[in-house]
Amino acid sequence: MKGFKDFLMQGNVVELAVAVVIAGAFGKVVESMVKIIMELVGKAGGTPDFSNWKPGGLSLGEFLTYLVAFIILAAVVYFFVVKPYTAAKDRYFPAKEEEAVIDENTELLKEIRDSLRARPNL
């Protein structure tokens, strides 16, 4: 029982649980935003529901509806989540240039290489 308790109390499990809950709630927000945009597209150019469209007997309409919804969803996520997140991250946590740390062994190997190059060929 102690092992199970330790497993549940690990930071990764708790973080994952929080992420799943937040993602579920955020998913509903994004779905409602997609619904609003789909309605705006419908008002501008007719209903964006192609479900009943079956050219040549193939059910392409439902695929087109989901494709349009996916493109709108991707745009919403990119412009309202990814882009602001990246801008905030760059502003508040600028990338630090990593200092080149030269290992003593690397320096020694370079000296050996240089001395071997300087030797006359035997």
Query: What CATH number should be reported for the domain holding residue 98?
Result: 1.10.1200
For residue 8, the enclosing domain spans: 2-118
**pTM over the 0.85 mark:** no
CA 38 – CA 43 distance, rounded (Å): 9
Q: By C-alpha distance, which of 48, 36, 18, 46 is closest to 75?
A: 36
Determine the pLDDT at residue 103: 77
Buried (b) or exposed (e) across 32-70, using 16+ Cβ within 10 A? ebbeebbeeeeeeeeebebeeeeeeeeeeeeeebeebbe
> Could you report the per-residue pLDDT of 81-97, keeping only the tens digit for each?
889 988 998 888 887 66
Say how many domains are in the chain: 1
CA 17 – CA 26 distance, rounded (Å): 14
Determine the pLDDT at residue 56: 81
Q: Which residue has the tokens 């619904």?
A: 35
Decide if pLDDT at 17 tops 60.
yes
